[in-house]
Amino acid sequence: MRDATRWGRLLAALWLGALLAVALIATPSAFALLPRADAGRVAARILAQEAYLSLVLGALLLLLLRTSARVASKSGQGSGLSASLLLALGTLFCTVAGYFGVLPAMSDARAGIGRLTFGQLHAISSVFFAIKVVLVAALAWRLSRSPSS
């Protein structure tokens, strides 16, 4: 279980770093250097890669945290459903809803189809991304301070 905790800490920290790099460095740089249409395509590609990375890291963390929670539950030291596990589930939800749920609607909105505008859908997607960053930060913090999360 100790190795699972260490791997969980490492994955959560790497994931947080990747999210912050996308939000604070990569996408703003594209819009600072390229014409708006080109920057949009670059940002879309970066966010697509981030979404798939988030799915992989989220699933790995979910497996590690579930294993740790199961061991803690069997030894009488905790529940099978830990707060860290709920944070990981929340991040996966934000990834699926924010990228895979909203993105197809954004394409439709750009073509004038649908009830919401592109700007509204972009705002919804951005909120999901921001919530995901907060949840991953909370997860990384929780795993770094607790020897048996």
User: What are 76-98's pLDDT values in tens digits?
Assistant: 776 767 888 999 999 999 999 99
pLDDT digits (tens, 9 = 90+) for 7-44: 889 999 999 999 999 999 999 999 999 999 999 999 99
- Which residue range(s) make up the domain with 107? 2-145
Q: Cα(108)–Cα(20) distance, rounded to whole angstroms? A: 28
Task: State the pLDDT confidence band at 149, using cuts at 50, 70 and 90.
Answer: very low
Q: Count how many domains the chain has.
A: 1
CA distance 100 to 128: 11
Helix, strand or coil, per DSSP, at residue 111: coil
| Residue 71: C-alpha distances to residues 53, 107, 139 (Å) | 27, 45, 19
pTM, two decimal places: 0.89
